[in-house]
A and B are shown apart, each in its own frame.
Chain A
Amino acid sequence: MPLNTSASVISFAKQLEADSAGFYEKMAERYPKAAELFLTFSKENNNYTMMIQRAYYGVITDAIEGCFAFSVETDKYTFEREPAKELGHTNALNQAIDMEQKLISFYTDAAEQSKAFMADVPRTFLIVAKKRKDREDKLRMLLKET
């Protein structure tokens, strides 16, 4: 599904963050050894949502291309909302890494599309993308330790 308006992209980002938070909560339940890390990720997602909302509500004005700033194909960035039941810990971590990569790709693409129009929103998207890259590295470390 293509999204062009800022409102729809912000809502989509919020949905991705909520889905990703839910995913890590399930991971925490299923793999108690790394529960603390997964729950931290989940909490961070709430902060990201707040950062994105703040940027959007702070910068949206009638003078910018709010309804024409994006061209996001949502299908590219959707992921499973919880780790597949039959997967072992390693594969679940790989699923998490795959999810992070999709999210990084979403934030990077959306930032690139809107950089001429939305000012603080693409900047915030890039901050979130960078934080998610750090998260991906942590997940890879965990994968190595497993």
Chain B
Amino acid sequence: MAILEEPIKGIVEVKNYIDGEWVESEGEIQDVVNPVNGEVIARVPISTKEEIDTAVEAAKVAFPDWRRTPPVARGRCLFRLKELLEANFEELSRVQTQEHGKTIDESRGETRRGIENVEVACGIPTLMQGYNSEDIVSGIDEYLIPTPLGVFGIIGPFNFPFMIPLWSAPYAVATGNCIVIKPSSEVPLSQMKIAELVDEAGFPPGVWNVVNGGRTVVNGMLDHPDIEGITFVGSTPTAKDVIYPRCGATGKRVIAQGGASNFMVIMPDCNLKATIPAMMTSFFGNAGQRCLAGQNAIIVGDDDRFYNEFINGVVDTAKKIIIGNGLDEEVQMGPVRDTEKKTKILSYISNGIEEGAKIRLDGRGDFKIKGDYPDTCFLGPTIMENVKPEMKIVTEEIFGPTMGIIRVKTLDEAIKICDDNPFHNADAIFTSSGRTAREFKYRVKSGNVGINVGIVAPMAFFPFSGMRDSFFGILHTQGKEAIRFFTESKVVIERWP
């Protein structure tokens, strides 16, 4: 089967999109490297404080007119954007694979999820309706009007370069706000492509801006008095120690989504035939680089026969995973994003071994790459047994293709391990018992709960939840909660004597 054609040829010079124009940055330039082969595919600017200020000013100027644009008309812009995203679906997906390394199935899945958020936001005329009470006292009426606030900053991570900014952006602009997006400087091309389509869709200048860069841009957003709120997806240290407190200090609304260390609880009555592929996707999909990925499996019960069947099943299946270029449609796992991330994952595996974990499948070297690619960013799946809840490979986020195996006797113990972990992003149970599933769903303190589902990714019309060290804020991205986040509830009490 042939390798799909690369949409990015040569080296793309990435620019900022400010006030409806493509603008060159004065900042230093950084290479964007395809992790599969080490080729430079783009050069991205690390924009200056002045440039983020210019973008915020453009958004601020655009806001009054955009706010006055009727929701149905704003919705039509989004409908046009949705059509353009569909028309460019395949190219957008391949760009993600080229800049990130994920497989084409994963990229197409990401594109679909991103578009779904635009689709939901197209319903803004009804989503944004308020409510009213007539005659709260005779002759006096009261009603609520959701109103936009102004300018919002959206800070994206490297692992879903296309989708994650779309958890916020369509809702922000649909509600009448203007936005400045800062994509991850490692993977800026997807947001550049979206901005090209935004431009084609006819959004007024200044409504949707993209400023590339790093800390200077983030700090510029956090400190800017004209930014009303920030949505951020990234690591827990940044979410917890930088974004959340700084937004608090400057009076901004905030959605700060952090990292995770998720558990897949395996009951002995689960359907193994369906559970094993779900484990592969959960632990090794996107090369483990997602905040919904399983990091540790908790096998419940004393049944050694079941335990061995499960372990042998996952090891045998993981061994056969085809690793290589994501544009090869047969490939099941791509590389990790860069060598720095690979080194970090390797150090976690070493630490796990030092703390007593036993390697059952060694992804550090025991794997083959399909095709002639350097192993610079590649890793195979790693499976470690004898993992204990207090080990670093459980209490910290690895963000790589690793699976730790913890054994417990009861469901109570499994739930306790989930709950004692500092992160609470997504936990799942695999069972054929409705009663066990309900017990888990009811008791586990996790933002996203899966039942026989390994990647608990909420649809666009549900909030993308998370708790404790996985989430800082109150309202979440996506759906109705995003509408709430991007609007203020203006209450009017009216009398006409």
A90 within 8 A of B: no
Q: Cβ of A66 and Cβ of B105 under 8 Å apart?
A: yes
Q: Which residues of B contact A12 (CB under 8 A)?
A: 1
Q: Does A84 contact B (CB under 8 A)?
A: no
Tell me the smallest distance from the CB of B112 to a CB of chain A, in Å.
5
Instruction: Determine the residue in chain A with the shortest Cβ distance to B320.
Output: A4
Asked whether, in the complex, the Cβ of A68 is within 8 Å of the Cβ of B277, the reply is: yes
* Interface residue B336 (Cβ < 8 Å from any Cβ of A): no
Query: Quick check: is A117 within 8 A (CB to CB) of the other chain?
Result: yes
Chain B, residues 10-46, CB within 8 Å of chain A (1/0): the string is 0000000000000000000000000000000000000
Given contacts A4-B330, A7-B103, A67-B285, is CB(A60)–CB(B108) below 8 Å? yes
Is the Cβ of B113 less than 8 Å from the Cβ of A67?
no
CB neighbours of B278 from chain A (8 A):
65
Kindly name the residue among A7, A11, A69, A117 whose own CB sees the greatest number of chain B CB atoms within 10 A. Answer: A7
Q: Does B437 contact A (CB under 8 A)?
A: no
A62 and B277 within 8 A (CB): no
The smallest C-beta distance from A27 to any residue of chain B, in angstroms, reads 27
In the assembled complex, the CB of A93 is this many whole angstroms from the nearest CB of chain B, namely 31
Q: Enumerate chain A residues within 8 angstroms of B453, measured Cβ to Cβ.
A: 63
Task: Name the contact of A5 in the complex, choosing from B89, B103, B112, B274 (C-beta under 8 A).
Answer: B103
Interface size, chain A (Cβ < 8 Å): 23
Residue pair B330, A64 in contact (C-beta under 8 Å): no
A63 / chain B contacts, CB cutoff of 8 Å: 109, 113, 292, 453, 455-457
Q: Find the A residue at minimum CB distance from B333.
A: A67
Q: B247 in the interface, Cβ–Cβ < 8 Å?
A: no
How far apart sit A91 and B235, CA to CA, in the bound complex (Å)?
Answer: 65
Are A62 and B329 in touch, CB under 8 angstroms?
no
Judged by a CB distance under 8 angstroms, whether B95 is at the interface is: no
Interface SS of A by simple majority: loop
- Nearest Cβ on chain A to B430's Cβ, whole angstroms: 12
Please determine whether B110 and A5 come into contact, CB atoms closer than 8 angstroms: no
Q: State which residues 55-106 of A face B: CB under 8 Å.
A: 57-58, 60-69
| A8 interfacial by beta-carbon distance below 8 Å | yes
Q: How far is the CB of A55 from chain B (nearest CB, A)?
A: 12
Chain A positions near chain B (C-beta within 8 angstroms): 1, 3-8, 11-12, 57-58, 60-69, 116-117
List residues of chain B with CB under 8 Å of any chain A CB: 1, 89, 103-106, 108-110, 112-113, 160, 163, 273-274, 277-278, 280-281, 285-286, 290, 292, 317, 322, 329-333, 453-457
User: Which 7 residue pairs across A and B have the least CB separation, nearest first?
Assistant: A66-B105, A62-B109, A63-B457, A7-B329, A68-B277, A8-B329, A67-B332
**Complex A-B: 27 CB contacts under 8 Å:** A4-B322, A5-B332, A6-B105, A7-B103, A7-B104, A7-B105, A7-B108, A7-B329, A8-B1, A11-B329, A60-B105, A60-B108, A60-B109, A61-B112, A62-B113, A62-B286, A62-B455, A63-B292, A64-B455, A65-B281, A66-B281, A67-B105, A67-B106, A67-B285, A68-B277, A68-B280, A69-B277
